Structure 1
């Protein structure tokens, strides 16, 4: 089974590093599909894998000709951390306090499917959709809080939401949106891991597959960032759209499987 989880980590984070998806949006539905772990364990496996990918990707990006808008991305990241705490608190309340894990799993899959469909439609028709350049810091922070809340509650790391928002509200091209998304994901997943370590007893989770997924995440980050340097914006966007469609269909299957 460790080979399967290594491949999941590798595949998800390679695509995540190329297209700014992060990987959690792929890992979460796939682990739901296989059904080996509960939602809380999946959240930790996903966050640790994506964080390892984001770390090596950011190190490699320092030598690339991409622009990270550190001010705006840092504001979004800060908001994402705050929103992440709120989203995780809401998730824990429903799953641990009320014990409706199955109901939350169904709701997560439905909400994620709707968001992915909207993102796919946006990128398909973005040439006729007006894009903006938001500069108000309070608005940017608020955007980060909303992104963090949704991403944490859904357990996806925020990748596709980040990319769509960076494109729509900050007029970034596909490659720069992907790289800035990785920057945001690094901080959001770090906070998710810290929060999990502080608020839960890690020993209660079955994390036997975690080392293999982290190794997959590191390798995926190296491979994905290598390819980002060599491909065009159009190719990045195409990979993003194909990945979104694939994840959408997995989520639709998971809704019926639940």
Structure 2
């Protein structure tokens, strides 16, 4: 019973923070499940994708009539690019983990790349007010950015959340609050494509998904709570939640690296 509660709380906490700050939840779920060590990388990816997808659906429904602004054109182009990149990233991941048997090595590489990436994003978001941002309109460039975003997110198994927010702030000059809901919009498509890819390739049967019945309800409840709260708080509070959560994830990821190398 305790383990069921733990997995429910992981889904709940990750998706509450994810819905509020545009992190999605995968960026929190993956390091925590790595730390618990109950599942392999492929199973963690599916558990994370299903939980975060459920959160994104609830969040988008909850904020549809709010003052939060979704840039449908630009976010849709990034989403399309990220879907293509996601298929590529997942293909690379599956090749090295499933076919080459390098699961442990890939796990360490994932954690190291994730830590580096998160540190860069943390520094950028902490000082983004001092950094020049842009208003990119070139559709080909937006698609390419989405492609790279999807590739990295799928390979790292993080759903793209913090990457989405940082890129939306940088290339479209969005504030963090608007970037967070646009990030959820992109995450909806990326996680849907990830689940479709699994369903049409290996299927879900080879994986132990018993905890999905506890994580998905946690994700749904987290999406409801997070999307309700984000409508009531200021952009500065969203930035603070984003940075604090990111710092915690960085520390957990570094801990996982140390434990994997010892």
TM-score w.r.t. length of structure 2: 0.98
Q: Is structure 2 residue 22 aligned with structure 1 residue 10?
A: no
- How far is 1:201 from its partner? 3.1
Cα distance per residue 1:173-226 (max 9 Å; x no partner): 011000000000000000000001111131111100001100000000000000
Match of 1:82 in 2: 84
Question: How far, CA to CA, are the matches of 1:61 and 1:154 in structure 2?
Answer: 28
Match of 2:181 in 1: 179
Gaps of 5+ in 2: none
2:249 pairs with one of 218, 222, 247:
247
1:233 pairs with one of 232, 235, 239:
235
- How far is 1:97 from its partner? 1.0
Match of 1:71 in 2: 73
Q: For residue 203 of structure 1, give the secondary structure of its aligned residue in structure 2.
A: coil
- How far is 1:245 from its partner? 0.3
- How far is 1:124 from its partner? 1.5
Match of 2:64 in 1: 62
Match of 1:102 in 2: 104
Question: How far, CA to CA, are the matches of 1:88 and 1:60 in structure 2?
Answer: 30
Q: For residue 133 of structure 1, give the secondary structure of its aligned residue in structure 2.
A: coil
Displaced runs of 4 or more, over 3 A: none
1:215 pairs with one of 214, 217, 228:
217
Gaps of 5+ in 1: none
Once superposed, what is the RMSD of the aligned Cα atoms?
A: 0.5
TM-score w.r.t. length of structure 1: 0.99
- How far is 1:125 from its partner? 1.5
Match of 1:195 in 2: 197
Q: Is structure 2 residue 139 aligned with structure 1 residue 137?
A: yes
Question: How far, CA to CA, are the matches of 1:238 and 1:54 in structure 2?
Answer: 21
Question: How far, CA to CA, are the matches of 2:225 and 2:126 in structure 1?
Answer: 27
Question: How far, CA to CA, are the matches of 2:127 and 2:116 in structure 1?
Answer: 17
